Amino acid sequence: MDDRQKLLHEWTGRLLAAFEIDGTDVDIDAVLDLAGKAAHGVVRPAAPLTTFVVGYAAGLAVGSGQADEDVAMRSALGVADALCAEAATEGGTA
């Protein structure tokens, strides 16, 4: 693990602890991959917005009992990934 990866893992741990959701599995690579797709396929500011909405949607699905954490996150990531690919094909939406 390089310094950047270590820092990201530590930062994620701090965030999870601050929100009292320690033990939550965060696929950092998947989140960063999606952010990159949103930034390059849509427009740069779409990266943080996309990752926020994905997390929010997954949280709502878990909170309402629609899905467990893993299924909710994979589903939300999949939907956003498909939309990013569609936007990239269209040349962005902005």
Quick one: pLDDT at residue 92? 58
Q: Tell me what pLDDT residue 93 has.
A: 53
Q: Tokens for 45? A: 């500011």
Bigger pLDDT: 60 vs 1 = 60
Instruction: Using alpha carbons, select from 31, 36, 35, 43 the residue that is nearest to residue 90.
Output: 43
- Mean pLDDT on 29-56: 96
Confidence of residue 8 (pLDDT cuts 50, 70, 90): very high
Residue 73's Cβ-count burial label (10 Å; 0-12, 13-18, 19+) is buried
pTM listed for this prediction: 0.87
pLDDT of residue 91: 79
Q: At what angle do helices 46-63 and 69-89 cross, to 10 degrees?
A: 150
Residue 34 pLDDT: 97
CA distance 68 to 29: 20
